[in-house]
C-alpha cells in the first residue's frame, strides 16, 4: 500500500484526489493547506482521515510515502525540498519550479536521497498522446523528428480562473516571473522538450499583451507568445500560446523525414500525415478518403475507451500517477525522464528572460484613433 | 396574522456594509436601504469598474461609500467591517464549477468577514444570504418546503459546488453564532430573477444536450423578484428580535414551470422544447448517478437523485414565516415581475 498525501487543496487537488482514489494499492493519508478550511473540505469530500495546515505536521504525523504538491508554483521548491528531506517521493504539479536552477537542485536532492520525482505534465499521458508516442517509437516518422509544432491556447473569456485573474490585481499568478505564461505553458513546452536531446536548446521568444486585454487596461499579463526552439540545426520547434485564437486548440504536429503526425488533444484525435504523394489527381481524392477513415478510426477508439470506463477527463493524470507509483514500488524508471523535466524548465526560463519587460510601453492600435500610439 | 415587529436594530446614521454590492442583487439592496432612509451604506466590491451599477455614488448626500476589496484578504475584511452595525452578506461564488473555488469564495470569505467583524465588537446583525437549494427536500410533496425542512446532510453528494458551498457557509455562520454570539439571520431566497439575470432557471429545464429539456412540468417555480428579495434581505438586517432565525423568500402567485415556459416563448423567443415527465427524469438521474459511480466518475454525477429532489421534484413553497416575522410582502407582483423580466430578456436578445 502506497500512502499518499496532498499539499495544497485548491482546484487541481480535486483532480489528484479523484485519480489517486482510482489507483489500487494507494490511499490518501492526509491533506494539507495553509487555510485549514480548505484542507477540511477536501478531507470531507474524499473521506480522508486527517487534515493539516502545516506541511511539517503532515509529514511528521501522517508519514506519507509520496506527496503531491498542488500549491501555487512559488512554493513548490520549498515544499518539495522539505518532503525530500523527510524521505518522501514527490509529484509536483506544473510548473515544476519557478526557475530551472530550483528544478536542478530538486533532482540532485532526490538522487542523493534515493527518492523519485515527477512533474505534472499529465497531458503527455492522455490516451492520444500515448498512441502518438507508440507510433513515433515504432519508427513511423522514418527517423528522428525534424520539426515539431506545439500550439497551446487558453481562452481568457471563460469564467472562473480567468475572471479571477483579470479582476484581481493581487492574484498570485501575477507575481510569478512569467505571469500567466508560467502557470499554463508547461504542457505545451513539455511536448516539445520530449523530442529534444540537448540540455538547453536555443530559444527565440516574442510575447505581447493582446489588444483585447490592453483595451481592458491590462498591461502586465502577456497572453500571446510565439517561440522558436532549435537544436544544432537538426531539430526545430515552434511553440504558440494564444488567448485570442479560435478555435482555442491544444495541438502537436511532428514531422519526420518520411511522415508526420498530428495530435489534437481537445478531440483526442491522432492523424497520420502521409509523406508519400499520390500521382496527379489522386492527390486530390485519395487523401480525403484516407483522412475520413482515420477520423472514423479515432471515433471508434474513443468510443471503445469510453465503454471500457477509461476515458476520464484526467485519464492522463491517472496514468502518470500510476506509472510514478509503479516506479517507486518496483524501482523502475520514472515516467518522465529528469532530463526532460529540466529541459522544459530551461526553455521556460529562456522565454521569460527574453520577454523581460515586454509588457510595457508597447504600441497599441485603437480602432477609434486609427493610429498607433504608446500607452 | 402579522406579528408585532420589534424595533429596528440599527439607526439611520449607522454603517451598513453590503458585500457583493455590485453583483446582480446588490444594487437593488443598496437602493432599498437608501429608500428606507439609511444614510451610511458601505458597498464592498471586488471588481473594478462596476461601481456605476450602484445608485447615488455621486449623489449630493454621499450616502454610498464604495470600498474596493477582496473578502479573501483579512485586512480588507477588517477595514470593510469597521464601524459596521449591520452586514448584509450577499457576496458568493455563483456559477463556480469546482468545489474548491466555490468553497473558497463562499465559506472562507464568510469566515474572514465574521472574524473581522468580531474584532470591532459593534456588529448587531449579520445577514447571511443563502439559498433554497440547501434543503434536501426529501419530504412528501404535500408538505410545503419551509424553514423546518432538513438541510442536505451530505451536500457533496449532490455534486453541486454551489449547494455544497452554501450549506457550509450556513454552517459556519451558525457556528459563529453559537460560539461567539454573532447575531445572525439566514435568508434563503428561491430563484432571484429580474433585469441582469436573464437566464432560464434550471428548475424549468436544461439545454445541455442540444435541445431544451423541459423538466419542471407542473412544478411551481420558487421565483422571487429581485426587488422583493432585496426587501426581505433588508428587513432581515434591520428587524429586531429575530437573531438565529432562518427565512425562506419566495413570491406569491408563483407560476408553474409549464406556464412560465409558455409565457417566455410567447414574450421573448420561440424555441423547441421536449417535455420529460417526472418519472422519466427521476429514472434518468438515478441511472446517471449509478453510471457515474460505476465508471469511477467518467461522467461526473451532476444528475443525481438528490439534485432531482431539489430542482425537479413537485414541491410547494411557503413564505408564511417571512411574512409573519418580518412583515414582508412582495412589492412587485409575479405578473409584473415576469413582464419586466421578459422585457429585459428581449432587450438582451436584441443586443446579443
Per-residue pLDDT, B59: 53
Whether residue B168 and residue A41 make contact (CB cut-off 8 A), yes or no, is: yes
Mutate to test the interface with A, among B96, B164, B298 (most CBs of A within 10 A): B298
**Cα separations in angstroms, A149 against A166, A234, A236:** 29, 15, 9
Interfacial A residues in 198-257 facing B (CB < 8 Å): none
Per-residue pLDDT, A372: 36
Of A14, A37, A312, the CB nearest to B99: A14
Cis peptide before A95 (omega within 30 of 0): yes
Torsion of CA A331, A335, A337, A342, to 10 degrees: -120
> pLDDT (tens digit, 0 to 9) for every residue of chain A, 375 residues total?
899 999 999 999 999 999 999 999 999 999 999 999 999 999 999 999 999 999 999 999 999 999 999 999 999 999 999 999 999 999 999 999 999 999 999 999 999 999 999 999 999 999 999 999 999 999 999 999 999 999 999 988 766 666 677 777 778 888 888 999 999 999 999 999 999 999 989 999 999 999 988 888 888 889 999 999 999 889 999 999 999 999 999 999 999 999 999 999 999 999 999 999 999 999 999 999 999 999 999 999 999 999 999 999 999 999 999 999 999 999 999 999 999 999 999 999 999 999 985 544 444 433 333 333 333
Tell whether B104 is within 8 A of chain A (Cβ): yes
Per-residue pLDDT, A112: 97
State the Cα–Cα distance between residues B345 and B198, nearest whole angstrom: 6
What are the chain A neighbours of B48 within 8 Å (beta carbons)?
A: 167
Q: For residue A37, what is the nearest residue in chain B, using CA coordinates?
A: B108
Tell whether B101 is within 8 A of chain A (Cβ): yes
Per-residue pLDDT, A363: 42
Length of chain B: 352
Ranges of chain B whose pLDDT falls below 50: 1-2
**Cα separations in angstroms, B304 against A69, B287, B289, B300, B312:** 32, 8, 5, 10, 11
Interfacial B residues in 293-312 facing A (CB < 8 Å): 294-298
Per-residue pLDDT, A374: 35
Tell whether B166 is within 8 A of chain A (Cβ): no
> Which residues, in sequence order, are CB contacts of B351 under 8 Å at separation 6+?
none
**pLDDT averaged over every residue in chain B:** 92
Per-residue pLDDT, A357: 57
Local structure of B206: helix, strand or coil: strand
Whether residue B295 and residue A309 make contact (CB cut-off 8 A), yes or no, is: yes
Interfacial A residues in 148-177 facing B (CB < 8 Å): 159-160, 164, 167-168, 170
Q: For residue A309, what is the nearest residue in chain B, using CA coordinates?
A: B295
Interfacial B residues in 170-209 facing A (CB < 8 Å): 172
> Using alpha carbons only, what angle is made at residue A275 by residues A271 and A279, rounded to the nearest 5 degrees?
115
Of A35, A42, A170, the CB nearest to B108: A35
Decide: A45 and B99 in contact? Cβ < 8 Å.
yes
Local structure of B188: helix, strand or coil: strand
Whether residue B47 and residue A18 make contact (CB cut-off 8 A), yes or no, is: no
pTM of the model: 0.91
Per-residue pLDDT, A235: 97
Whether residue A45 and residue B297 make contact (CB cut-off 8 A), yes or no, is: no
Mutate to test the interface with A, among B46, B51, B113, B297 (most CBs of A within 10 A): B297
> Which residues, in sequence order, are CB contacts of A290 under 8 Å at separation 6+?
A274
Tell whether A11 is within 8 A of chain B (Cβ): yes
Of B70, B96, B296, the CB nearest to A309: B296
Mutate to test the interface with A, among B71, B199, B296 (most CBs of A within 10 A): B296
State the Cα–Cα distance between residues A165 and B49, nearest whole angstrom: 15
Residue in this structure with the C-alpha cell 510515502, named with its chain if needed: A65
Query: What residue spans of chain B are helical by DSSP H?
Result: 26-35, 74-81, 99-103, 109-120, 161-180, 226-238, 257-267, 278-294, 305-311, 320-326, 334-351
Copy the grid coordinates of residue B244. Answer: 438565529
Query: What residue spans of A139-185 are helical by DSSP H?
Result: 161-167, 179-184
> Which residues, in sequence order, are CB contacts of B188 under 8 Å at separation 6+?
B130, B131, B132, B134, B135, B147, B246, B247, B248, B249
Copy the grid coordinates of residue B123. Answer: 456588529
Per-residue pLDDT, A113: 97
Per-residue pLDDT, A368: 39
Of B48, B97, B99, the CB nearest to A41: B99
Decide: A123 and A194 in contact? Cβ < 8 Å.
no
Provide the 10 A C-beta neighbour count for residue B8.
Answer: 18
Q: For residue B99, what is the nearest residue in chain A, using CA coordinates?
A: A11
Q: Which helix (H) or strand (E) holds A45?
A: helix A36-46
Tell whether A302 is within 8 A of chain B (Cβ): no
Amino acid at each position: 500500500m502506497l500512502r499518499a498525501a496532498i499539499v495544497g487543496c485548491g482546484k487541481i487537488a480535486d483532480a489528484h484526489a479523484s485519480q489517486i482514489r482510482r489507483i489500487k494499492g494507494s490511499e490518501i493519508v492526509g491533506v494539507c493547506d495553509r487555510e485549514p478550511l480548505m484542507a477540511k473540505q477536501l478531507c470531507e469530500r474524499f473521506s480522508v482521515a486527517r487534515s493539516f495546515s502545516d506541511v511539517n505536521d503532515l509529514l511528521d504525523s501522517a508519514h506519507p510515502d509520496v506527496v503531491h504538491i498542488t500549491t501555487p508554483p512559488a512554493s513548490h521548491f520549498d515544499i518539495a525540498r522539505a518532503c525530500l528531506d523527510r524521505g518522501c517521493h514527490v509529484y509536483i504539479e506544473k510548473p515544476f519550479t519557478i526557475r530551472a536552477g530550483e528544478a536542478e537542485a530538486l533532482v540532485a536532492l532526490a538522487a542523493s536521497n534515493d527518492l523519485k520525482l515527477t512533474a505534472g505534465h499529465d497531458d503527455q499521458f492522455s490516451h492520444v498522446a500515448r498512441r502518438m508516442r507508440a507510433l513515433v517509437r515504432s519508427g513511423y516518422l522514418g527517423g528522428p523528428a525534424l520539426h515539431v509544432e506545439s500550439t497551446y491556447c487558453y481562452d481568457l473569456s471563460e469564467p472562473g480562473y480567468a475572471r479571477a485573474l483579470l479582476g484581481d490585481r493581487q492574484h498570485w499568478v501575477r507575481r510569478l516571473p512569467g505571469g500567466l505564461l508560467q502557470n499554463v505553458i508547461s504542457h505545451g513546452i513539455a511536448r516539445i522538450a520530449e523530442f529534444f536531446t540537448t540540455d538547453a536548446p536555443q530559444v527565440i521568444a516574442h510575447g505581447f499583451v493582446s489588444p483585447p486585454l490592453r483595451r481592458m487596461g491590462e498591461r502586465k499579463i502577456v497572453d500571446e507568445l510565439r517561440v522558436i526552439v532549435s537544436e544544432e540545426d537538426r531539430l526545430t520547434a515552434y511553440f504558440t500560446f494564444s488567448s485570442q485564437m479560435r478555435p482555442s486548440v491544444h495541438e502537436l504536429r511532428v514531422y519526420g523525414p518520411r511522415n508526420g503526425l498530428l495530435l489534437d488533444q481537445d478531440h483526442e484525435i491522432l492523424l497520420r500525415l502521409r509523406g508519400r504523394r499520390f500521382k496527379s489527381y489522386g492527390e486530390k481524392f485519395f487523401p480525403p478518403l484516407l483522412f475520413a477513415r482515420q477520423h472514423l478510426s479515432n471515433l471508434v477508439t474513443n468510443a471503445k475507451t469510453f465503454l471500457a470506463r477509461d476515458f476520464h477527463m484526467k485519464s492522463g493524470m491517472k496514468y502518470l500517477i500510476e506509472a510514478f507509483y509503479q516506479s517507486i514500488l518496483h524501482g523502475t524508471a520514472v515516467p518522465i525522464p529528469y532530463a526532460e523535466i529540466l529541459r522544459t524548465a530551461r526553455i521556460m526560463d529562456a522565454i521569460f528572460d527574453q520577454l523581460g519587460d515586454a509588457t510595457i510601453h508597447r504600441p497599441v492600435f485603437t480602432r477609434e484613433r486609427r493610429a498607433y500610439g504608446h500607452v | 396574522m402579522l406579528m408585532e415587529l420589534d424595533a429596528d436594530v440599527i439607526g439611520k446614521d449607522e454603517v451598513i456594509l453590503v458585500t457583493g454590492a455590485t453583483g446582480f442583487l446588490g444594487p437593488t439592496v443598496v437602493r432599498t436601504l437608501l429608500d428606507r432612509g439609511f444614510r451610511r451604506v458601505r458597498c464592498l466590491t471586488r471588481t473594478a469598474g462596476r461601481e456605476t451599477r450602484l445608485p447615488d455614488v455621486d449623489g449630493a448626500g454621499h450616502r454610498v461609500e464604495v470600498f474596493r476589496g477582496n473578502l479573501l484578504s483579512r485586512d480588507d475584511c477588517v477595514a470593510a467591517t469597521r464601524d459596521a452595525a449591520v452586514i448584509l452578506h450577499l457576496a458568493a461564488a455563483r456559477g463556480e464549477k469546482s468545489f474548491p473555488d466555490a468553497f473558497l469564495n463562499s465559506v472562507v470569505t464568510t469566515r474572514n468577514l465574521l472574524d473581522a467583524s468580531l474584532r470591532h465588537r459593534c456588529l448587531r446583525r449579520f445577514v447571511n444570504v443563502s439559498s433554497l437549494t440547501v434543503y434536501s427536500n426529501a419530504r412528501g410533496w404535500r408538505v410545503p418546503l419551509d424553514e423546518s425542512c432538513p438541510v442536505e446532510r451530505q451536500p457533496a453528494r449532490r455534486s453541486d459546488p454551489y449547494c455544497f458551498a452554501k450549506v457550509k457557509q450556513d454552517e459556519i455562520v451558525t457556528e459563529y453564532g453559537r460560539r461567539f454570539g454573532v447575531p445572525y439571520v439566514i435568508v434563503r431566497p428561491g430563484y432571484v430573477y429580474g433585469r441582469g439575470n436573464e437566464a432560464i432557471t434550471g428548475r424549468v429545464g436544461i439545454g445541455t444536450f442540444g435541445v431544451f429539456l423541459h423538466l419542471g412540468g407542473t412544478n411551481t417555480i420558487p421565483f422571487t423578484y429581485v426587488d422583493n428579495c432585496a426587501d426581505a434581505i433588508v428587513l432581515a438586517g434591520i428587524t429586531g428580535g429575530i437573531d438565529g432565525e432562518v427565512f425562506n423568500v419566495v413570491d406569491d402567485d408563483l407560476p408553474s414551470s409549464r406556464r412560465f415556459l409558455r409565457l417566455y416563448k410567447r414574450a421573448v423567443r420561440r424555441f423547441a422544447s421536449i417535455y420529460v415527465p417526472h418519472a422519466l427524469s427521476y429514472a434518468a438521474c438515478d441511472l446517471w448517478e449509478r453510471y457515474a459511480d460505476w465508471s469511477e466518475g467518467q461522467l461526473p454525477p451532476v444528475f443525481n437523485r438528490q439534485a432531482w429532489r431539489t430542482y425537479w421534484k413537485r414541491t410547494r413553497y411557503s413564505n408564511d414565516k417571512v411574512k409573519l416575522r418580518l412583515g414582508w410582502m412582495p412589492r412587485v407582483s409575479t405578473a409584473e415581475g415576469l413582464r419586466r423580466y421578459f422585457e429585459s430578456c428581449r432587450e438582451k436578445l436584441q443586443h446579443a
